Amino acid sequence: MKITGVDVWALDLPLNRPYSLSGGRLRFERLDSTLVRLTTDEGLIGWGEGCPWGSTYLPAFARGIRAGIEELAPAVLGLDPRRTDVVYRAMSVALPGHPYVKSPIDMACWDIAAQAAGLPLCDLLGGRTEGSVRLHSSIPSGSPDELMAEIDLARAEGYTFHSAKVGADVDADIERMRFLDSRMESGEEVTFDANRAWLPAEAVAALNATTELNRVVEQPCETLDQHLQVRRLVRQPLAIDESLQTMGDLLRIIETGACEVVGLKIGRVGGLTVARRMRDLCMEAGIRMNIEDTGGTTLQATAAVHLAQATPEPFRRATWLCVEHLTVDPIEGGARNDGSGRANAPAEPGLGTRPDIDGLGEPMASHRPQ
């Protein structure tokens, strides 16, 4: 089987209400996503998506994906998409680094490989595990009452696991964390995500004032070095998200015992091929994972749910569906909130989801063999 075409669409995804993180430093009103379609000489079609949650969240941006695919397309045309490692190495030769650019092509290859095997993608990523995948809400930063209002909306959708954004003024953050903790009901869980906002001294102050809450605190500082400084001086469980970008980062996280939880976002680490390797390494090291992506439609989320579905509990912690924040979702099928804050990987071969092709219009770029 050979890849015979690479088609690219840009997708404007308005948020249903503005979303702030990092104490309001970063504010988003819409996302810019990229859909990629791979066609093959045997008629199978694969879909992938890349959406880096704006340009300010990570060293990644939507137009970078589209420009990068222009570089990658000639390198993958003619390759067998079922040979996911071979395709990945070809992409790494054609464009070193830029992991998020590779993710949508890699995702589409996995979609085709699973269709060709006649299996849902989760079965190619290790095998479907028991039970459904727990979802977590994503609660934008705000006053304690604003945070609670968002949590109540998430509860109405069935969510029992919340990721609440903190990371502003330290005293206000201490108040926010204590307030939210006191409002959690039996069986509910909350993680406090600072999205790199605190300096190490601020993180130490905020965490040591809330030790007794024993909640996971995510990405307190900008860098892994700063995180390790904080780690030595606090006692609660920690999570690393934005500072995990490469396999080298994960090896250092394991070597230093930096955290109990990682946020494994498919696009940020460079696609399912790399995320699967990281998943396996985290399991060996006893690290729990939030397996998800950085944004996008149900297509991107469904790929994450497949990887989560193939990861046993308790390593699989929770997964986020960005689509809950969007006003549009031009995707058919796929993994959805079942109403109880959980989702299942689709049973049909491949990703089990695809865009409504009529609604997409003409692709903005199409690459074919020269």
Closest among 284, 307, 251 to 106, alpha carbons compared: 307
Instruction: In whole angstroms, give the CA distance from residue 281 to residue 250.
Output: 8
CB of 130 to Mg ion, least distance (A): 27
- 106 forms part of the interface with Mg ion (CB under 5 A): no
CB of 193 to Mg ion, least distance (A): 4
Contact 322, 140 (CB under 8 A): no
CB of 195 to Mg ion, least distance (A): 6
Would you call 165 a catalytic residue per the annotation? yes
Considering the complex, state which of residue 32 and residue 193 has its C-beta at the smaller distance from Mg ion: 193
Closest among 209, 136, 215, 134 to 180, alpha carbons compared: 215
Name residues contacting Mg ion, limited to 253-282 (CB under 5 A).
263
Instruction: In whole angstroms, give the CA distance from residue 278 to residue 363.
Output: 33
CB of 140 to Mg ion, least distance (A): 12
Instruction: In whole angstroms, give the CA distance from residue 208 to residue 236.
Output: 9
CB of 239 to Mg ion, least distance (A): 7
Per CB under 5 A, the list member of 106, 123, 202, 241 interacting with Mg ion is 241
Name the active-site residue from 82, 215, 231, 265: 265
Neighbours of 137 (CB within 10 A): 25
How far is residue 364 from each of residues 61, 71, 294, 342, measured CA to CA in Å?
Answer: 17, 15, 22, 35
Mapping DSSP to helix (H, G, I), strand (E, B) and coil, where does residue 157 land? Answer: coil
- Please give the residue whose beta carbon sits closest to Mg ion in the complex: 241
Contact stretch for Mg ion (CB under 5 A) within 105-113, 210-218, 249-257, 266-274: 210-218
Contact stretch for Mg ion (CB under 5 A) within 111-119, 237-245, 269-277, 351-359: 237-245
Neighbours of 70 (CB within 10 A): 14
Name the active-site residue from 134, 165, 196, 367: 165
Considering the complex, state which of residue 218 and residue 293 has its C-beta at the smaller distance from Mg ion: 218
Q: Identify the residue whose tokens are 């024993």.
A: 214
Closest among 89, 65, 64, 63 to 75, alpha carbons compared: 89
Would you call 102 a catalytic residue per the annotation? no
Considering the complex, state which of residue 293 and residue 329 has its C-beta at the smaller distance from Mg ion: 293
In 226-364 the beta strands, taken as DSSP E runs, fall at 238-240, 261-265, 288-292, 316-318, 331-333, 342-343, 353-355
CB of 263 to Mg ion, least distance (A): 5
The 39-78 site mask, x for binding Mg ion (CB under 5 A), equals ----------------------------------------
Sequence letter at residue 40: T
Considering the complex, state which of residue 263 and residue 295 has its C-beta at the smaller distance from Mg ion: 263
Query: What residues are paired with 5 via a beta bridge?
Result: 39
Considering the complex, state which of residue 263 and residue 346 has its C-beta at the smaller distance from Mg ion: 263
Per CB under 5 A, the list member of 7, 106, 123, 193 interacting with Mg ion is 193
Q: Tell me which residues touch Mg ion (CB under 5 A).
A: 193, 218, 241, 263
Query: What are the residue numbers of the active site?
Result: 165, 265
